[in-house]
A and B are shown apart, each in its own frame.
Chain A
């Protein structure tokens, strides 16, 4: 069964460093998303991406964050100058069309020290 794949599963980084979280969405999907979940809190929307551009972003998704689809299969989230409060589980998701079922990856646990 097709699945969303995320790498790495866990990343530890020093405060101020840049990290890139990687995702391979389901191959025929057109809509891609990043969400995050701070420990013990709700899953929060960060950004949606369609047709090689951001279609919506939340207040959390400021200039520190960027997304890219560098090739036909990968979808990345870059976090520049990481802060302690960026520590969270980051989930990538994809769906085939707008407002259809979203499939999530297993997440990348980011720890900023």
Chain B
């Protein structure tokens, strides 16, 4: 059974810092990995999708890497801003029906 773990559970950084969020998964037989952002009481916003054959994806200040063989992904956020404060979730896609298995998330707070 696929298990997804995210560390740290919570992170507080001052504005402008670069930061790294970590995600690990137990079964490397994934189709893709997706990073989401969740604001309190809100839905999930897709940030980046990395296919299993890819190593990296970039969108603006976000860069996600994938090491499928070791079961790890990182989300790098450059020059953090207060508006980046949210919970960040990673999820891996497995099985023929593309179901996503989610981690518990990292709650990020960017302070002024």
By a beta-carbon cutoff of 8 Å, the part of chain A in contact with chain B is 31, 33, 35, 41-45, 48, 50, 55-56, 58, 89, 91, 93, 95, 98-107, 109
Q: Are B42 and A99 within 8 A (Cβ)?
A: no
Given contacts A99-B93, A102-B46, 6 further A-B contacts (CB under 8 A): A33-B99, A43-B89, A99-B98, A101-B46, A101-B49, A102-B98
Q: Are A99 and B102 within 8 A (Cβ)?
A: no
Q: Are B99 and A104 within 8 A (Cβ)?
A: no
Q: Are A56 and B46 within 8 A (Cβ)?
A: no
**Can you report 25 A-B residue pairs in the complex whose CB atoms are below 8 A from each other?**
A33-B98, A33-B99, A35-B100, A43-B89, A43-B91, A43-B102, A44-B102, A45-B100, A48-B97, A48-B99, A55-B97, A56-B97, A91-B44, A95-B98, A98-B98, A99-B31, A99-B98, A101-B46, A102-B34, A104-B43, A104-B44, A104-B46, A105-B43, A107-B42, A107-B43
Note all chain B residues with C-beta closer than 8 A to A41: 104
Interface of B is mostly: strand
In the assembled complex, B95 has its CB within 8 A of some CB on chain A = yes
In the assembled complex, B69 has its CB within 8 A of some CB on chain A = no
| Known contacts A44-B102, A45-B101; A98/B46 CB under 8 A | no
Q: How large is the interface on B (under 10, 10 to 19, 20 to 34, 35 or more residues)?
A: 20 to 34
Note all chain B residues with C-beta closer than 8 A to A45: 99-101
Residue in contact with A103 in the complex, picked from B46, B91, B104, CB distance below 8 Å: B46
Q: Are A101 and B103 within 8 A (Cβ)?
A: no
Note all chain A residues with C-beta closer than 8 A to B102: 42-44
Bound complex: CA A33 to CA B98 (Å): 9
Bound complex: CA A105 to CA B97 (Å): 19
Residue in contact with A42 in the complex, picked from B41, B43, B104, CB distance below 8 Å: B104
Note all chain A residues with C-beta closer than 8 A to B44: 43, 91, 93, 104
CB distance from B85 to the nearest CB of A (A): 18
What 0/1 readout, one digit per residue, does chain B (80-101) give for beta carbons within 8 Å of chain A? 0000000001010101111111
